[in-house]
Structure 1
Amino acid sequence: MDERFDLTVHVAADVWAYAQRRTAFLETLLIRVLREHAEMQEWFSASELETLRLPGLPTHRSTITRKARQEG
């Protein structure tokens, strides 16, 4: 008895290319996280976040702290 189960799926070329790029990016990111795990900083103070000026965060230490408390 033949126990093969061949499955063919048709995917648009642009969707396939995006999936390949995304997979390569995620593999690279995973390797980086595994290699640099000891050096990664998990928590930041409000003053450190103020210095980083990250998009989507308030620009002042007090408002960063307020936002953190509101969002839990």
Structure 2
Amino acid sequence: ETGRFPTEDNWIEELTTKTDKHKKHMEKIPKDPWGNEYNYRWEGRHIDEFPDIWSNGRDGIDGTDDDRISWRGPEE
């Protein structure tokens, strides 16, 4: 709607706040299946021109094997 992805600094606000120019996309950002917040990196490192979005997985620790990430499929 804005022609760009939200930045890391204000991504939650941009998705949950209505302005004169933009609609509210959701009431609140959902938690991952384990009740933790998702991680968001505006300047994605894996797919050009898309942000990285990931869950720290069941253990809640970033960078471990159980992380769920947006830049590869569920079978990889």
**Alignment TM-score, normalising by the size of structure 1:** 0.24
**Alignment TM-score, normalising by the size of structure 2:** 0.23
Structure with larger RCO (C-alpha < 8 A, sep 6+): 2
Larger % of strand: which?
2
Which one has a bigger Cα radius of gyration? Answer: 1
Larger % of helix: which?
1
